[in-house]
Amino acid sequence: MTRHAEDGPRTARLTDTAATVPSAAAHVAASPAAALEVDGRTTGPEASDRRDEDRREGGRRAEDDTGAGEDDELTAREERQGARVREAIRDELEPAVQGEDRSAIISLRNVSLAFDRPILQDVSFVARKGETIVVVGESGTGKSTILKLILRLLVPDTGQVCIEGRDISRLSFADALKVRQRMGMVFQGAALFDSMSVFENVAYPLREQTDMSEEEIDTRVREKLKFVDLEPDQILDQLPSQLSGGMRKRVGIARGMAADPPIMLYDEPTSGLDPLTTGTVTRLIMKLQRELGVTSVVVSHDIRSTFRMATRVALLAERRIVFSGTPEEMTGSDDEYIRDFLGGL
Ligand SMILES: Nc1ncnc2c1ncn2[C@@H]1O[C@H](COP(=O)(O)OP(=O)(O)OP(=O)(O)O)[C@@H](O)[C@H]1O
Ligand SMILES: [Mg+2]
């Protein structure tokens, strides 16, 4: 029933309708709300990030430096600012939503897929430029399957998966590969190449997808490691087994973003991490959205980080998206299943 991506005939029929709407996130970055956020991030969360790292990765113990009250206050301030920025992004996108939906970067339209039983039925959602859609749902509901459909590792039985205006299930394998290069994927558990150094891991997509010189690759790898708050000189030559779980996740993000893809996909980026490292990884995903205007689809089990990073949340249950809306709409819902899913938040 299910066709794997590389099977079967493919007719390449490309209509280049790639979105040309300017980056909503870039506009937002110039807005007062975002300025506040930028200030907040510089002085608040990143300072807190560094404390996180001190605690996690062998630095000084910082418990005496940082009272729990101060942490709570920082988190509350971040959350208020995060809500304002998400709202600004949605406002920015509203005119596009009403008119022709040219800002759609990823869209699933009435997608159905079955393996030995139906997994997804009539699933539709749109991720617009600069949005972070977080897909949540119980285990086995098809969240990772959605990422595989977006990557065209799977094709739907019916319906369309469009990336930047192209129905990717109709592309040839070679064209599909090109579309895949528009996306950075962060796999569950980071999935680094164990026998390769951090440098080679992050350089991998650059060697595969670009003809950059060794010098350019070196510069780019260092830049990406710094973006994820890792000190290149300290870890470039290390093997993944020498890193902590949180560092491995961040190297995974650096690798995913190495070739500057406009789309990032994350499968459970915070699973298995302690709350402090979870906060660090969540902030990194938000940083990619806000500073680089990246469009993201994140699969997560972590409701708290979902609410921090999502512009919209899609809840998958019984083969369908049973809720799609803002974090605020989700917490305000009195639907019994949603309330149960949120566990009384
Ligand atoms: N290649 C495959 N062949 C057959 N069944 C599959 C295949 N891939 C996934 N499935 C089934 O599809 C369903 C959805 O799988 P998927 O991995 O998307 O779930 P998930 O929501 O990501 O779950 P989890 O939260 O546990 O990661 C599961 O029942 C799984 O067993
Ligand atoms: Mg999964």
The residue among 171, 178, 164, 147 whose CA lies nearest residue 300 is 147
DSSP β-bridge partners for residue 108: 125, 161
Distance 141 CA to ligand 1 centre (A): 7
pLDDT at 219 (0 to 100): 96
pLDDT at 69: 53
Taking the centre of ligand 2 as the mean of its atom positions, its distance from the CA of residue 297, in whole angstroms, is: 13
- Smallest CA separation from ligand 1 atom 14, residue: 142
pLDDT in tens, 292-301: 899 999 999 8
Instruction: Give the pLDDT of residue 245.
Output: 86
Q: Which ligand is nearest to the CA of 116?
A: 1
**pLDDT band (50, 70, 90) for residue 206:** very high
Q: Which residues surround ligand 2, an ion (CB under 5 A)?
A: 144
Q: Determine which residue's CA is closest to atom 18 belonging to ligand 1.
A: 142
CA of 295 to the centre of ligand 2 (A): 20
Could you report the per-residue pLDDT of 144-169, keeping only the tens digit for each?
A: 999 999 999 999 999 999 999 889 98
CA-nearest of 130, 165, 71 to 264 is 130
Residues 6+ apart with CB under 8 A from 131: 24, 89, 93, 105, 289, 295, 296, 311, 312
CA–CA separation, 243 vs 249, rounded Å? 10
Which residues have C-beta atoms less than 6 Å from ligand 1? 115, 119, 137, 139-145
Instruction: Determine the average pLDDT of the residues in 74-90.
Output: 66
Please count the residues of the chain: 345
Between 208 and 85, where is the model more confident? 208
Q: What is the pLDDT of residue 28?
A: 29
Q: Is 129 exposed, middle or buried (0-12, 13-18, 19+ CB in 10 A)?
A: buried
5, pLDDT greater than 70: no
pLDDT band for position 330 (cuts 50, 70, 90): very high
Which of 69-83, 163-177, 285-299 has the weakest average pLDDT? Answer: 69-83
What pLDDT sits at residue 274? Answer: 84
Best residue among 1, 2, 145, 341 to mutate for probing ligand 1, ranked by most atoms within 8 Å of CB: 145
CA distances (Å), origin 289, targets 67, 94, 152, 295: 30, 18, 23, 7
User: Is the pTM of the predicted complex or chain greater than 0.95?
Assistant: no
- Contact at 8 Å (CB) between 278 and 250? no
CA distances (Å), origin 135, targets 58, 109, 181? 34, 16, 22
Joined together, the tokens standing for residue 273 give 């991490």
DSSP symbols for 271-303: TT--HHHHHHHHHHHHHHHHHH--EEEEE-S-H
Residue whose Cα lies nearest atom 2 of ligand 1: it is: 115
Tell me the ligand closest to 138's alpha carbon.
1
Nearest residue CA, atom 3 of ligand 1? 115
Determine which residue's CA is closest to atom 16 belonging to ligand 1: 142
Best residue among 4, 108, 111, 115 to mutate for probing ligand 1, ranked by most atoms within 8 Å of CB: 115
Query: Which of the pair, 100 or 179, is modelled with greater confidence?
Result: 179
Across 79-83, 158-162, 252-256, 314-318, least confident range: 79-83
> pLDDT tens digit string along 25-53?
333 222 323 222 222 222 333 334 433 43
pLDDT at 169: 86
Are 260 and 22 within 8 A, CB to CB? Answer: no
Atom 24 in ligand 1: residue holding the nearest Cα: 139
Measured from the Cα of 2, ligand 1's closest atom is 3
Q: What rounded mean pLDDT belongs to the chain?
A: 77
C-alpha dihedral sign at 97, 17, 163, 161: positive
Strands 312-317 and 320-325 turn out to be: antiparallel
Tell me what the mean pLDDT of segment 83-106 comes to: 60
Question: Could you give the CA distance from residue 273 to residue 142 in angstroms, rounded to a whole number?
Answer: 22
Q: What is the pLDDT of residue 185?
A: 92
